[in-house]
Amino acid sequence: MQLLILIDAVKRASAARITAVIPYYGYAKQEKKTTGREPISAKLVANLIRTAGAHRVLTMDLHAPAIEGFFDIPVDHLQAGQLLSDYVRSLNLKDPVVISPDAGGVGRANIFRERIGASLAIIAKQRPRPDAVEMLEMVGDVKGRPAVIVDDMISTGGTLVEAARSLLQRGATQVYACATHGIFAGDGISALRDSELVETIITDTIPLDPSAANARIKSISVAPLFAEAILRIHKDLSLSALFHN
């Protein structure tokens, strides 16, 4: 609501162009109906942003790339994969395996795997209820190797905690986790603090709660990437290089 009010305020102040910078698009998980009588909130909020007066949206790592199509205005969709993979490379892990926590994240995990020179494994899971997860099977081998779980966001941390436990049971020597958005809803931070994860690597698209100080969470700033994107938009320059890098 605050974003909509700000857009309306600058529109009424005769702004020539309005770009809504949204590092974390908070309604992205509701991009489709999973049961009857559910809203598609991601589309609704996209309509509200356009109606309020925004001419363009700058965001990062949408939960589903198709959400770009929900907007009737240009969307610049930045990705944090390069920042996260650069940090993981600096850890100098020996023969790592990148883990996709579900089939839908295989594309993201495969790009990450190529960047750090690792192999790929996939966890099959099901959700008996929202924000709960049950591991079914894994495709790939992690025995005697460090594992890096790659996802777009961490909500309650339940998926990561269960995945880390499952990977260690299958012989992984250590488990790291990478995600762009650290939501940490409910007891998410406590869950990670008590988990067997060596480190959880996120970005600062969402401010990190001070209680995470001893939860082995590494936050990487996306400010330079957004600053460069905003500058290029302001000067009417191409953003293609930012998407590729």
Token pair, residue 53, equals: 């007066």
**CA distance linking residue 222 with residue 30, whole number of Å:** 24
Q: Which two tokens stand for residue 97?
A: 């395996």
Among candidate residues 125, 143, 218, 235, the one labeled active-site is 125
C-beta contacts of 229-235 below 8 A and 24+ residues apart: 229/58, 229/76, 229/78, 230/19, 230/21, 230/58, 233/19, 233/56, 233/58, 233/76
Question: In the β-sheet with 119-126, what is the strand arrangement from edge to edge?
Answer: 134-139, 119-126, 97-100, 147-154, 175-182, 199-203, 217-220
Burial class (CB in 10 A: 0-12, 13-18, 19+), 25: buried
Whether 125 is catalytic is yes
Alpha-carbon separation of residue 180 from 23, 108, 183, 208, 234 (angstroms): 10, 11, 10, 12, 25
Residues designated catalytic: 125
